[in-house]
Amino acid sequence: MSGALRLSLVIVACVGLLAAGRAATASRTPAKQAVTVEAVAFQPADLTVNVGDTVVWTNKDPFPHTVTSKNGAFDSKELAADKTWTYRAQKKGDYPYVCTLHPTMTGTLRVR
């Protein structure tokens, strides 16, 4: 097999792999992730999701909390006991957040 033919086959194979990767990425179904608010903590405290994924925070404490981004990207307002709050990740980045009622409660949402 000549060098030129071998190079052509490698290029065709690489283009095929790139196209397959794009198709898989384009058809990815958004995921639903969960964060539990319990014992005055976010569990998990750090969560990585993809753009388009949904995150649901569930307050299992007997008193309210908030899920408030430090850069203003999102704010649940007061989340009462046994209630949930849902956020759809729309833009890549790291989003540190806090409970404004209990400032020692912190977490980070990483959107990839």
Q: How far is CA 84 from CA 32, 36, 57, 61, in A?
A: 13, 9, 5, 12
> Both 23 and 36 in a single domain?
no
> Both 56 and 101 in a single domain?
yes
pLDDT value of position 81: 98
pLDDT over threshold 50, residue 12: no
pLDDT value of position 55: 98
Look up the pTM and report it: 0.76
Specify the pairing of strand 54-59 against strand 84-88: antiparallel
> Both 13 and 56 in a single domain?
no
> Both 44 and 90 in a single domain?
yes
> Both 70 and 42 in a single domain?
yes
Instruction: Give the closest residue to 39 by CA, choosing from 111, 99, 110, 84.
Output: 99
Residue 91 binned pLDDT confidence (cut-offs 50, 70, 90): very high
Range in 17-21, 27-31, 54-58 the model is least confident about: 17-21
Q: In which domain, by residue range, is 21 found?
A: 1-29
> Both 75 and 52 in a single domain?
yes
> Both 82 and 37 in a single domain?
yes
> Both 21 and 40 in a single domain?
no
> Both 25 and 37 in a single domain?
no
pLDDT tens, residue by residue, 51-82 = 999 999 999 999 999 999 999 999 999 999 99
> Both 24 and 42 in a single domain?
no
